[in-house]
Chain A
């Protein structure tokens, strides 16, 4: 059964939509294979606009890993903007992949990568456009397996009715294992149909198939228990961890888009995982342990990645890049290699210490200076202890003074609002801190002409973190604190003028909170919001708080719960959390203890430099910390003196 491209029909619509280039594919690195020459076919979706989804590392890595298999085909699909969605519905054009414009419904798997829960409504749009039933229960053998991955899949319960399966953790090996199971099942003639395939996936004990689990509730609305409803299905499903990143040097052939996207650079992950232990940070909790990629692999990936892509910017990514055991040699080595080449190097700089500035200084040898961003996260010493961000005000002042005296004219400071135990004063102290930064900065730089930008994000408690039990702060309280902070910043006109202030309203965070800690009952809310037109909820111009509140009011009372119950309610130790049957490796008792330590302002050190504190991940997942230094150095590159001609 061959599958036809929908491009001839789509082409008629493209002159009528904005930025049509995002729908035509043709990127460098894109792979188009003969449909009939492959046995297992994946459509990979990043459920947001192309400009955001294309640069996503996760999708690019899995795309390449899958397409390296000869009998496997992987193509990509993204959320289409409402203008094209309307035309597609009107003209009967289904959700398509950008690589070969094949209908998504024809694939074996639709794999969705959820970096954020705000992509859930876009998943429903894509399923609907694809002609795939929204509810997993309504699908048959003619439909793809709808598979969720990404950080949000550590609690996929709100979308449990829409997805067929979820993978927690690193995807490189998981996609190959799933491919193998599907290949075998197809070769046997698809015995037992869709149900049997899902059962085979569930039996791996690391693929979660929601339909094989029943959730029972207590009269007060809390969960009583989550139990398998089939024999052979594990009580708990474990996350995946890819060890030895040097063995997985992806992306090797990064996708280079024609359309403009949010990141135009070759990004290399220098390590995965983080044990700094910031209590709000889900990424740091669920990606343990730390696994470094060695300096030499990083150097090789950058050399080949730049030659392949033609990018002129390199990003050294991780959750806290300055913590790499070889970061000093890496930055100076790379700066040396690329000096005079117009290639710019950048490090997402968030650690508050002067070492970060040395690194940024190294990387800017080429002339181009990237901005400096520091993340103290909390305004007061007290709240920083609560969140385990071990930074003192003196650290921060010393760091920014170093930056300003080394010629930076602008630094960006990142904070959160709505943290557990937060008071008005904790937030107001952000303003006082910004004043001190400007005063010290002016003295250090010897000029009044310096600036700092204070950027505030709303705190959202996430599953598998010590704050998973925490109550959220109501949006009105957040908004009032943000207004107070604005007045505090401007209380001194001279200092206030040098401070930029950016923040987000409290409302979107509350909805993100509903989706991140919700259970299966929240699925009905997501569906209702989508039916009322909800799309692109991560975009302020498309997000509607009123729509979510209305949908909650329509749907949740039937279950005896409401929006507040999911968001501003503090959970107790004994409560069964919706994701308790999903194993991130973190010991629930350790998380609870860390939550208790948090409220008594007790700090937790990093296990890379102090003894193991028994978070539980390494023993339960059979993993270990993998860090250097390797003692190796980057060697000078051989200059290219002639045109690179095709082979």
Chain B
């Protein structure tokens, strides 16, 4: 327990930083980032995590988030970092926090933070876009038209108003996967699946911008809302793979 009559600004210092990877799955992909942040703060209290607080008159828990997936988009690879006022075992922390969150908000990984920042290790995202009722061949044609262009201008409403920007350059890889042939749901209708790697740029190019790009480039208009999932985010290698940003924090593997 904190000492009594603790003066304002007397919060306990951070003694350990832990980085977490979490998922937003199924119906809970409709959780907005703000919704998640509130749920996560409550989970910290439910799990009795010794979270550190900022100094000041209204102390805030020490939590910092890496770029969050848009509301309605599922994710297997969201990241955040927390500062603790007492050391804990990362494995136990993962289990305790996962149990304290609703099923569908799942804590997948926890590591003690090493040097460097999480943000510096994230420069690209890997997305999977399911387009129910779209024929894979139609998706394939649209993707070919899109990649054939140098620049594809799309529009989106931002906080600054309607903006026009290029959705093509940020795309590192875009394919229609061969799983597309498998009917997705019970209705047996076809479903095209796009596999997409996008570099982090400003303004950010999101999966819906790439879908807008497919419409602009080839007139592809999915009749039902697409289902988008972020599969990974991290450092993009020359080979086009994405490296989990937590890998660098793990203990170096023993030789042999």
What are the residues of chain A within 8 A of B59 when measuring CB–CB? Answer: 342
Q: Within the complex, what minimum Cβ distance (angstroms) separates B71 from chain A? A: 7
What are the residues of chain B within 8 A of A259 when measuring CB–CB? Answer: 35
- With contacts A26-B28, A339-B4 taken as known, whether A307 is within 8 angstroms of B46 at the C-beta atoms is yes
Contact B99 A26 (CB under 8 A): no
Contact A644 B96 (CB under 8 A): yes
Contact A20 B2 (CB under 8 A): no
Contact B102 A28 (CB under 8 A): yes
Task: Pick out which of these stretches binds chain A: B36-44, B144-152, B164-172, B199-207.
Answer: B36-44
Q: Does A619 contact B (CB under 8 A)?
A: no
What are the residues of chain B within 8 A of A433 when measuring CB–CB? Answer: none
Q: Does B116 contact A (CB under 8 A)?
A: no
Contact B95 A645 (CB under 8 A): yes
Contact B53 A342 (CB under 8 A): yes
Cα A342 to Cα B54 with chains together (Å): 12
Contact B96 A258 (CB under 8 A): no
Contact A645 B96 (CB under 8 A): yes
7 contacts between A and B (CB under 8 A): A20-B71, A21-B71, A26-B102, A258-B28, A340-B2, A643-B47, A646-B96
Contact B30 A639 (CB under 8 A): no
> Which of A14, A258, A340, A644 is in CB contact (< 8 Å) with B1?
A340
Contact A15 B27 (CB under 8 A): no
The interface centre, meaning the residue of A24, A309, A368 with most chain B CB atoms within 10 A of its CB, is A24
What are the residues of chain B within 8 A of A340 when measuring CB–CB? Answer: 1-4, 6
Q: Does A27 contact B (CB under 8 A)?
A: yes
Contact B45 A306 (CB under 8 A): yes
Contact B95 A646 (CB under 8 A): yes
What are the residues of chain A within 8 A of B34 when measuring CB–CB? Answer: 260
Chain A residue at smallest Cβ distance from B42: A310
Chain A residue at smallest Cβ distance from B6: A340
Q: Which residues does B use to contact A, with CB under 8 Å?
A: 1-4, 6, 8, 27-28, 30-32, 34-36, 38-39, 41-49, 53, 57-59, 71-72, 88, 92-93, 95-96, 99-100, 102-104, 185, 224-225
Contact B57 A21 (CB under 8 A): no
Q: Within the complex, what minimum Cβ distance (angstroms) separates A335 from chain B? A: 11
Q: Does A25 contact B (CB under 8 A)?
A: yes
What are the residues of chain B within 8 A of A16 when measuring CB–CB? Answer: 225
Task: Pick out which of these stretches binds chain B: A4-12, A166-174, A564-572.
Answer: A4-12
Q: Does A642 contact B (CB under 8 A)?
A: yes
The interface centre, meaning the residue of B6, B39, B103 with most chain A CB atoms within 10 A of its CB, is B39
> Which of B1, B6, B57, B225 is in CB contact (< 8 Å) with A639?
B1
What are the residues of chain B within 8 A of A28 when measuring CB–CB? Answer: 42, 102
Cα A260 to Cα B88 with chains together (Å): 30
Contact B35 A260 (CB under 8 A): yes
Contact A646 B32 (CB under 8 A): no
Chain A residue at smallest Cβ distance from B89: A643
Chain A residue at smallest Cβ distance from B59: A342
What are the residues of chain B within 8 A of A21 when measuring CB–CB? Answer: 30-32, 35, 71
Contact B185 A643 (CB under 8 A): no
Cα A642 to Cα B103 with chains together (Å): 23
Cα A310 to Cα B71 with chains together (Å): 23
Q: Which of A1-47 contact B (CB under 8 A)?
A: 7-8, 11-12, 14-16, 20-21, 23-28
